[in-house]
Chains A and B, each alone.
Chain A
């Protein structure tokens, strides 16, 4: 019973964060809400027996990426005067409908999927296994990602310099 309750609790927290992101006007609130969601998700990962990923989720996502968000948000905040949602009601309605359809379709898949082998598989996603996966089978994508990060870094520097000039 305890795991189920824990799941529900974490789910509610995650959804709450998502809802706040959707509804709160201030992006600072949104960013903090997103941190909340991500920490909750990390908890769910622990439940799925993926401690390494859970740790990374907290460190990289909640820690690094969202802090960057917060930082930038504070940097550019003062001009945010417009409303949180589209004032254009029909557009909002369409968006809501699309989102609902999206959820419906995905949930449909989730519920129809055959998840019977769940009991059989234990989690083997410990650090060693992940490392072996990355540095053997996934070595090429790994290198690609490293190049991508380098390119992104250079791109960011270029963009920042361009801002300086103007």
Chain B
């Protein structure tokens, strides 16, 4: 039997790595993939919880996360394509639409 703590530690590691990707990579695509990685780490925690307590709440929540991730990716990628078309780059360091 595998201690459930292992799963949690693995999830924490994946989450931190995802955060690192988001923080350090300059390509907008990488940013999004980092976010996906973090979401997956979160899912892993949810399923560990389901294993711990039983019941269907956690898997259901996971499904919602899945759907949200789908929506996020669809809009995000559309934005990326649009940005690429108008700015010619995906370097988030160079994109400053928000500059006040």
Contacts and interface: CB of A to CB of B under 8 A. Distances in A.
| Chain A directly contacts chain B within the complex, with at least one CB pair under 8 Å | yes
Interface residues of B, number: 75
Contacts of A38: 40
Interface in B1-41: 1-21, 23-27, 29-30, 32-34, 36-37, 40
Nearest to B77: A72
Contact of A76 (B15, B29, B33, B75): B29
Contacts of A76: 29, 80-81, 84, 90
A115 B69 CA distance: 29
A118 B51 contact: yes
A46 B24 CA distance: 32
Contacts, number: 252
Contacts of B85: 163, 166
Interface string A44-58: 110111101100110
Interface string A123-166: 11100011011100110011001001101110110011011001
A79 B84 CA distance: 9
Interface string A18-56: 110110000100110010011001001101111011001
Contact of B12 (A107, A137, A155, A159): A107
Q: Is the interface of A mostly helix, strand, loop or mixed?
A: helix
Given A72-B77, A121-B52, A64 B14 contact: no
A3 B73 CA distance: 34
A47 B34 CA distance: 24
Given A110-B9, A124-B55, A133-B57, A56 B66 contact: yes
7 contacts: A27-B33, A79-B88, A86-B24, A99-B23, A107-B12, A118-B3, A145-B67
Q: Which 7 A/B pairs are nearest by Cβ-Cβ distance?
A: A110-B8, A106-B12, A103-B16, A152-B71, A95-B23, A133-B56, A121-B54
Interface of B: 1-21, 23-27, 29-30, 32-34, 36-37, 40, 43-44, 47-48, 50-60, 62-64, 66-75, 77-82, 84-86, 88-91
Interface of A: 3-4, 7, 11, 14-15, 18-19, 21-22, 27, 30-31, 34, 37-38, 41, 44-45, 47-50, 52-53, 56-57, 60-61, 64-66, 68-69, 72-73, 75-76, 79-80, 82-86, 91-92, 95-96, 98-100, 102-103, 106-107, 109-111, 113, 115, 117-119, 121-125, 129-130, 132-134, 137-138, 141-142, 145, 148-149, 151-153, 155-156, 159-160, 162-163, 166
